[in-house]
A and B are shown apart, each in its own frame.
Chain A
C-alpha cells in the first residue's frame, strides 16, 4: 500500500465520512462474501473462523437472510 494511503485527509469531516463509507462497504462485502461461501458449501464454523468472529455472531447476522434466500446451509464442518 502506498504511504500516501496511510495518512488521513486534512479535514476531520472527510476522515470521519470515509469511516462511514468504509463501514458501509465492509457490510456490503461481508453480506456478499458470506453468501458466496455458504452457497459454495462452507459451514458456519469455517466462515466464522475466516472472519475471525464467533459462530454465534455470524449466524445471528446472516442465517435468517440466507435461509430466506433458499441457500442450503451446512451445519457441520465435515
Chain B
C-alpha cells in the first residue's frame, strides 16, 4: 500500500465515522469534507481552515444547509428535538456523491502524485449538491478555494 493509499484509507475511515454519527447509511461528499477538515497538518485542512472551515464550522454549515433546504418547502426540523436513535451497526457504504468526489480527485493527478489537496479539489469540483450549497450559505467562495488548492498543488505542497 502506498503512503497515499494509507492516507486515503484514514480519510475514508474518519468520513465513515462522520456518516455514522450523522445517522446516514451512506458516506457522502460532505462526510469526506468533514474528514479533511479534521485532518490536522494536511494541506487540505490548512486550506479549509484559511476559509474559516474547521471541522466544527463545516458541521455547523451543514446543519444550516439542512434546515434551510427544509424551510424552502415549509418544514421545520423537529427531529432536532427527538431523542437520538441508537446508532446503526452496519458501516455506511460509500455513496454516489463521495464516489464522484473521489473519481474527480483521481483524474487530476497520477496515482503516485495524489495528495490531500487533490481530495479537496475533487470535493470542491461539485457545482451541484449538499457541499456546494453548504459552502455558498456559509459565504465561502468555492471556486476561489479550489483555485488555491490547485496552486498549493503546483507549489508542491503535501
Contacts and interface: CB of A to CB of B under 8 A. Distances in A.
A73 interface: no
Contacts of A29: 79, 82
B86 A9 contact: no
Interface in B64-117: 65-66, 69-70, 72-75, 77, 79, 82-90
- Secondary structure dominating the interface of A: helix
Nearest to B76: A25
B79 A25 contact: yes
Contact of A2 (B74, B89, B128): B74
A31 B85 contact: yes
Determine the main DSSP class of B at the interface with A. Answer: loop
Interface of A: 1-2, 4-5, 8-9, 13-15, 17-18, 20-22, 24-25, 27-29, 31-32, 34-36, 64-66, 68-69, 71
- List the 3 closest A-B pairs by CB distance, nearest first: A69-B86, A31-B85, A5-B74
Interface of B: 23-25, 65-66, 69-70, 72-75, 77, 79, 82-90, 128, 130, 133
22 contacts: A2-B74, A8-B73, A13-B128, A18-B69, A20-B69, A21-B65, A21-B69, A21-B70, A21-B75, A22-B70, A22-B73, A22-B75, A25-B66, A25-B77, A27-B24, A28-B79, A31-B85, A32-B79, A32-B83, A64-B90, A65-B89, A66-B86
